[in-house]
Chains A and B, each alone.
Chain A
């Protein structure tokens, strides 16, 4: 996950509140512009054809064109103040070609006519030819049929951009007021809303027009003990979702009650912030954890990030092959382990699936950014590693006849490459509730919410924190803990999974800003799971004095 974007957007990084300076966001616009429909699909086809033809004329053997309009709205508040309301629009075109067997890419802002399109195409071909001399083997694309003119729209109920800004401001200021009333010293809250309008065309004969929506309401509550000078925070237990404003409509059926309320497809921000203020205060006097081995009970609001880092990333085929060696790293899940057909990634209970179609998820689209219809596939079945995530220029390497359809670029101005689909842990097949799971734990910690996260470049060794930690003693919750982080090794951790709650507890978490690539690109991805138990995990105490 790309922490810099997150901090900046939350207004807490050094560049806090300088939202327009984030290059990927585009220009500021009137909120009314966010409701405009953008270019007509017939115009986009004409423009795309201009680029396809220009590239071919210059010698390209394959070309794809992405015409993108990216809309963002951010409402940023703290306590009783609106700090920033940002509406951005970014429109441009990216053309990718293969010429002399080599990839080339060029992007042009605001391309609105055939001349602009041809210019981008010609530049992409020129770059491909300049670089072809450094090539060892020509790029091989998995065959892909053209789908003709197709479209896909995220099945949202309420376009967030249609909701008046005043309603959003009132919601956030209400959230902040509730936090302050319940004992918070400070509160920041933010609503992010995204709409990607993407048009894809390729020389394979696909013209795909897509409309994608995402939303993320978040807050951060701080409580300070003035005497000791200690402070504690509690972040929202919301998830970023591939949904419209309906995510903020409170529905009792979407609430998961227990030690603290968690949320499924509808988020009660006011209720969560009220609990957060009380819990941040409680954390100040919580018991500092004693380091040692514990059985961990991990809520989906926490486990999604562990899945993301220890399963999602190591099974990216470009990492396995070495294409990300200079930045994100390679992977412990090497081809020989997969080829052995018996590499025990996790215990027999563990089934991990890749998915680009799940409704409400961040990764759902109809077609990926190289024109492949999306699908689902297994990564780990009954604990055994069975597959990776691959795109068109990698499929042949793992003996697949076609791409998995998980190619993505975060903007018209960046080149598409293999990105993580939704990767989720399947729910347990036998009925099991969280209460029943906890009942069996003698010495454990129940963790809710995501916190600090770090993992090595081959995805062996990781360390995770959370938002809320509860001690479990002899099957009972014994009280709140603080200064908790757990460390483990990916294979050891997933093999220590001894129980997974059933589908009644299944929820999505996710990352709005997953970073990968050079120049770095961010993508949004969901990870679903039910609460799961991991035995004998090493817990450290993170308390220090300076």
Chain B
């Protein structure tokens, strides 16, 4: 059998799994992934590989006693074995007071996240994509190190209350660092697409090469508070620190940046500039997401922050029931609305500031304030009187995305970016921020 099952094939297989169940409740999650990658460095291919994987997870419950078992062979005997094993484990398990009964049938939005072009990628096609990138290194004596990884996959689930869900998807992420021969300049680019036909490794390579050459004669500036323009790739890694922390339970428990004294939360309160709106929408054509979560809940369009005000937090089904709220699953994509300014507009309107193209090694320093630290990397530039004057040496920053979004000057147009920390894809804009805190200098290139 193929690794990637069609909706009909997945449904037939899951029906068979459930037919073996003798538990009070049974839920089965099925997945298949075919992935390939190629890595290059020092202007030559280094390592590469392929991997095929499939998996069936069966969760059986007797009351609140739950057992989970998994298998990756799908013949009839294996399917029955995995159901029996889940049931045995459930009988042995301690009661989980937070276990929720499985959901009945749900209605899901339509999302198109699977592209045949990406599914058809071969080792030769990957090598050709890299060859186009490497071809541009010679003339300027530059050195490339890059990575391309594609996946063709599906997820499906069914339970004993009649819920069935299926979602196929593809993705390709490409990233590239170009360095000058003397090691003094470095530029970076990364993009993610569902449809590989949108990936143009040559034009992306030109972006990284341009940044490498432009950053080669960096000058040291004193650390301190600066107006910064964060390109979308740089903004993504700070913004996702906020997205990751939208959990209602942590906020209700008093251990989140969304907590307030006396056991209250900031739900309904303005926490950032009124131009900030953050939502999720699995049907977005540019950034399609799964229309259902791993436990079968429908992923709807959810506004997390609306004009600066916290409108939603993520409620697990257990916590929602306990708090008398509607469950809201963690989203399958995150989109930040933007403005109309181009990057050039933002530079033009800056008297004195820093253009940051990438941030690196982001770590939370204080969960209470979302203070994070990290550094600029692969192209940082000084702006004076509306023009890029010269490259600057890298800075370490200590900044909170909450403070940063209160110091918002301008938003650019949203674009699809890849987080260099988590590999997640987002749709979000470049942004101009005043009083961004750089705390020390780094010699690193």
Which segment, of A128-136, A270-278, A502-510, faces chain B?
A128-136
8 Å CB interface, B362-404 against A: 362-371, 373-375, 377, 394, 396, 398, 400, 402-403
CA distance A355 to B123 in the complex (A): 37
CA distance A538 to B40 in the complex (A): 38
Q: Are B253 and A186 in contact (CB under 8 A)?
A: yes
A123 at interface by CB-CB < 8 Å? yes
Q: Are A123 and B440 in contact (CB under 8 A)?
A: no
Return the contact of B69 from the options A29, A321, A324, A325 (Cβ within 8 A). Answer: A29
CA distance A113 to B51 in the complex (A): 18
In the bound complex, residues from chain A placing their C-beta under 8 Å from that of B294 are 18, 21
In the bound complex, residues from chain A placing their C-beta under 8 Å from that of B330 are 14-15
CA distance A83 to B96 in the complex (A): 7
8 Å CB interface, A1-36 against B: 3-4, 13-15, 18, 20-21, 23, 27-30
Q: Are B123 and A465 in contact (CB under 8 A)?
A: no
Q: Closest residue of chain A to B86, judged by CB?
A: A28
In the bound complex, residues from chain B placing their C-beta under 8 Å from that of A485 are 365, 373, 398
Q: Are A109 and B52 in contact (CB under 8 A)?
A: yes
Taken residue by residue from 307 to 338, chain B's Cβ proximity to chain A (1 for < 8 Å, 0 otherwise) reads as 00000001000000000000000100000000
Q: Closest residue of chain A to B439, judged by CB?
A: A540
8 Å CB interface, B44-60 against A: 44-55, 57
A363 at interface by CB-CB < 8 Å? no
A28-B68, A454-B375, A458-B445 known; A135-B44 Cβ under 8 A: yes
Q: Are A461 and B444 in contact (CB under 8 A)?
A: yes
Q: Are B175 and A326 in contact (CB under 8 A)?
A: yes
Return the contact of A3 from the options B46, B175, B363 (Cβ within 8 A). Answer: B363
How far does the Cβ of A179 sit from chain B's closest Cβ, in whole Å? 14
Return the contact of A452 from the options B94, B365, B444 (Cβ within 8 A). Answer: B365
A224 at interface by CB-CB < 8 Å? yes
Q: Are A544 and B123 in contact (CB under 8 A)?
A: no
How far does the Cβ of A290 sit from chain B's closest Cβ, in whole Å? 16
Which segment, of A97-105, A197-205, A419-427, faces chain B?
A97-105
In the bound complex, residues from chain B placing their C-beta under 8 Å from that of A454 are 361-363, 373-375, 396
Q: Are A487 and B440 in contact (CB under 8 A)?
A: yes
Which segment, of A142-150, A225-233, A338-346, A430-438, faces chain B?
A225-233
Q: Are B48 and A453 in contact (CB under 8 A)?
A: no
How far does the Cβ of B366 sit from chain A's closest Cβ, in whole Å? 6
A210 at interface by CB-CB < 8 Å? no
B112 at interface by CB-CB < 8 Å? no
CA distance A542 to B363 in the complex (A): 13
Most-contacted residue by chain B among A14, A186, A325 (CB, 10 A): A325
CA distance A460 to B442 in the complex (A): 7
A399 at interface by CB-CB < 8 Å? no
Q: Closest residue of chain A to B256, judged by CB?
A: A231
How far does the Cβ of A18 sit from chain B's closest Cβ, in whole Å? 7
Q: Are A323 and B145 in contact (CB under 8 A)?
A: yes
CA distance A130 to B125 in the complex (A): 9
Return the contact of A105 from the options B43, B48, B186 (Cβ within 8 A). Answer: B48
Taken residue by residue from 35 to 46, chain B's Cβ proximity to chain A (1 for < 8 Å, 0 otherwise) reads as 001111111111
How far does the Cβ of A442 sit from chain B's closest Cβ, in whole Å? 24
CA distance A226 to B51 in the complex (A): 50
B93 at interface by CB-CB < 8 Å? yes
A258 at interface by CB-CB < 8 Å? no
A157 at interface by CB-CB < 8 Å? no
8 Å CB interface, B344-367 against A: 360-367
Which segment, of B8-16, B259-267, B277-285, faces chain A?
B259-267
A53 at interface by CB-CB < 8 Å? no
Return the contact of B369 from the options A169, A224, A332, A546 (Cβ within 8 A). Answer: A546
Taken residue by residue from 172 to 194, chain B's Cβ proximity to chain A (1 for < 8 Å, 0 otherwise) reads as 00011101000100101000000
A189 at interface by CB-CB < 8 Å? no
CA distance A227 to B254 in the complex (A): 11
A104-B48, A456-B377, A457-B360 known; A325-B94 Cβ under 8 A: no
Q: Are A29 and B363 in contact (CB under 8 A)?
A: no
How far does the Cβ of A408 sit from chain B's closest Cβ, in whole Å? 14
Q: Are A518 and B373 in contact (CB under 8 A)?
A: no
How far does the Cβ of B11 sit from chain A's closest Cβ, in whole Å? 22
8 Å CB interface, B68-88 against A: 68-73, 85, 88
Q: Are B49 and A415 in contact (CB under 8 A)?
A: yes
A108-B52, A452-B364, A544-B366 known; A231-B255 Cβ under 8 A: yes
CA distance A133 to B440 in the complex (A): 44
How far does the Cβ of B353 sit from chain A's closest Cβ, in whole Å? 22
A327-B147, A456-B442, A461-B442 known; A544-B45 Cβ under 8 A: no
Q: Are A134 and B442 in contact (CB under 8 A)?
A: no
Which segment, of B126-134, B158-166, B195-203, faces chain A?
B126-134
Most-contacted residue by chain B among A27, A457, A519 (CB, 10 A): A457
CA distance A428 to B33 in the complex (A): 52
CA distance A327 to B247 in the complex (A): 29
Q: Closest residue of chain B to A3, judged by CB?
A: B363
Most-contacted residue by chain A among B46, B134, B362 (CB, 10 A): B46
A29-B70, A453-B363, A454-B363 known; A126-B45 Cβ under 8 A: no
8 Å CB interface, B406-445 against A: 422, 439-445
In the bound complex, residues from chain B placing their C-beta under 8 Å from that of A206 are none
Return the contact of A546 from the options B131, B262, B370 (Cβ within 8 A). Answer: B370
CA distance A116 to B271 in the complex (A): 57
How far does the Cβ of A520 sit from chain B's closest Cβ, in whole Å? 8
Q: Are A229 and B42 in contact (CB under 8 A)?
A: no
Return the contact of B147 from the options A326, A413, A459 (Cβ within 8 A). Answer: A326
In the bound complex, residues from chain A placing their C-beta under 8 Å from that of B94 are 82, 169
B143 at interface by CB-CB < 8 Å? yes
How far does the Cβ of A271 sit from chain B's closest Cβ, in whole Å? 24
Q: Closest residue of chain B to A130, judged by CB?
A: B123
How far does the Cβ of A11 sit from chain B's closest Cβ, in whole Å? 11
Return the contact of A231 from the options B176, B368, B444 (Cβ within 8 A). Answer: B368
How far does the Cβ of B373 sit from chain A's closest Cβ, in whole Å? 5
Return the contact of A329 from the options B50, B71, B444 (Cβ within 8 A). Answer: B444
How far does the Cβ of A109 sit from chain B's closest Cβ, in whole Å? 6
A4-B422, A224-B255 known; A546-B403 Cβ under 8 A: yes
CA distance A108 to B50 in the complex (A): 9
CA distance A231 to B258 in the complex (A): 12
How far does the Cβ of A129 sit from chain B's closest Cβ, in whole Å? 9
A127 at interface by CB-CB < 8 Å? yes
In the bound complex, residues from chain B placing their C-beta under 8 Å from that of A538 are 440
A224-B255, A546-B403 known; A30-B363 Cβ under 8 A: no
Return the contact of B123 from the options A82, A131, A325, A487 (Cβ within 8 A). Answer: A131
In the bound complex, residues from chain B placing their C-beta under 8 Å from that of A29 are 69-70, 85
CA distance A538 to B223 in the complex (A): 14
B149 at interface by CB-CB < 8 Å? yes
CA distance A321 to B145 in the complex (A): 11
A14-B330, A102-B45, A108-B52 known; A461-B375 Cβ under 8 A: yes
Return the contact of B51 from the options A13, A126, A233, A413 (Cβ within 8 A). Answer: A413
How far does the Cβ of B72 sit from chain A's closest Cβ, in whole Å? 6
A456-B361, A546-B257 known; A135-B444 Cβ under 8 A: no
CA distance A14 to B38 in the complex (A): 29
CA distance A233 to B176 in the complex (A): 38
Question: With A83-B98, A226-B262, A461-B394 given, can you name 7 additional A-B contacts, CB distance below 8 Å?
Answer: A14-B243, A28-B69, A103-B47, A107-B49, A456-B375, A456-B394, A457-B375
3 smallest A-B Cβ distances: which pairs?
A229-B261, A27-B70, A461-B442
Task: Return 11 A-B CB contacts under 8 Å, by A number.
Answer: A110-B72, A134-B45, A134-B134, A231-B255, A231-B259, A233-B255, A326-B188, A456-B360, A461-B442, A463-B396, A546-B257
B-side interface residues toward A, CB under 8 Å?
Answer: 37-55, 57, 68-73, 85, 88-89, 93-94, 96-98, 123-124, 126-127, 130-131, 134, 143, 145-147, 149, 175-177, 179, 183, 186, 188, 243-244, 247, 253-255, 257, 259-263, 271, 294, 314, 330, 360-371, 373-375, 377, 394, 396, 398, 400, 402-403, 422, 439-445
